Amino acid sequence: MAISLHTNYANLVTQNTLNSTNNALSTSMERLSTGYRVNSAADDAAGLQIANRLELQSRGMSVASRNSQDAISMMQTAESSMDEMTNIAYRMNDLATQAANGSNTAEDRAALDAEFQALAGQLSEITTNTNFGGQKLLDSASGVFAQTGGVVFQTGSTTAETTTVNVSTQLGSLNAQLTDFGSMSISSATSSQGVMSALSSFINTVGESRASFGAQINNLEHNINNLANMTENLEASKGRIMDTDFASESGNMSKNQMLMQSGAQMLSATKTIPQLAMSMLG
């Protein structure tokens, strides 16, 4: 390159190099200050797109895990009410069995029937009043679990990942049997034997419903564990794309800082080239 007053090639090269080094230093400082390797699409366009998909899936799974926990709580509420219904039915059966015995007088059976009717009323109260967050669960008219088709829970990050809990058939039968109890009596030995048969069927129906709830509760527990595992791996994958490697980036920043210092010194040194041209004029 010729020595010239008009064009200082060394100075231009040094300026361009200094600008590139300054951009690299700014990038390193941004990454270290934010903790992210990708702060805009320009940093890694493909990586940002992949990370966004992973973030969407990860957040969806986190919400789905909470949905599953809410579903478990909802079913546990219904199942615990049915547990008490079973205990009440056991007592009603005890009363009917006792009333069926020929040793009882009419007054004895009247006393037994009084408790029987009170317990039957309590069974109806439980099915009517059991609710989760104000939403009735077992009631034949408005209980969510009693509706045809059951309840659909969103237990995954996509529309295809749902869990349906359908005990409507059992609850329909259970509510019909409860209605029958309203007209039943254990005031005679014959009617008491009929009540015993009805209670046996009722207890079996409650047991079937509880078994269905229990199976789905266990299913959702496994679903929660699986979602936690997948979320963990998704977050790790997203972190490898998005997060700053502080060890590597700190080294880059130190290198660029030294290059900036040396570049600034060289930029100053290039000013001597035009002076050299002037010296040739004597």
Model confidence pLDDT, tens digit, residues 96-143:
999 999 999 999 999 999 999 999 999 999 999 999 999 999 998 899
Nearest-angstrom CA–CA distance, 29 and 50: 24
C-alpha distances in angstroms, 61 versus 132, 144, 234? 23, 25, 10
Nearest-angstrom CA–CA distance, 163 and 151: 8
Is residue 43 very low, low, confident or very high in pLDDT (cuts 50, 70, 90)? confident
Q: Tell whether the torsion through CA atoms of 96, 102, 103 and 105 is positive or negative.
A: positive
Is residue 278 very low, low, confident or very high in pLDDT (cuts 50, 70, 90)? low
Of how many residues is the chain composed?
A: 282
Q: Tell me the two tokens of residue 132.
A: 């989760």
* Lowest mean pLDDT segment, chosen from 24-38, 48-62, 63-77: 24-38
More confident residue, 240 or 9: 240
Is pLDDT above 70 for 72? Answer: yes
Residue 155, helix vs strand vs coil? coil
Nearest-angstrom CA–CA distance, 255 and 127: 73
Nearest-angstrom CA–CA distance, 277 and 268: 17
Residue 131: its pLDDT value, please? 95
Model confidence pLDDT, tens digit, residues 134-171:
999 999 889 999 999 999 999 999 999 999 999 999 99
What is the separation of C-alpha 155 from the centre of its chain, rounded to a whole number of angstroms?
7
Model confidence pLDDT, tens digit, residues 21-32:
888 888 889 889
| Nearest CA among 185, 203, 189, 191 for reference residue 123 | 203
Nearest-angstrom CA–CA distance, 113 and 120: 10
Is residue 14 very low, low, confident or very high in pLDDT (cuts 50, 70, 90)? confident
C-alpha distances in angstroms, 155 versus 70, 215, 238, 253? 10, 16, 22, 45
Please compute the mean of the pLDDT values over residues 250-263 and round it to a whole number: 88
Is pLDDT above 90 for 273? Answer: no
Decide: 251 and 32 in contact? Cβ < 8 Å.
no
Model confidence pLDDT, tens digit, residues 166-175:
999 999 999 9
Amino acid at 208: E
> Would you give the DSSP letter of residue 131?
E
Model confidence pLDDT, tens digit, residues 193-243:
999 999 999 999 999 999 999 999 999 999 999 999 999 999 999 999 999
Mean pLDDT of the chain: 91
Residue 199: its pLDDT value, please? 95
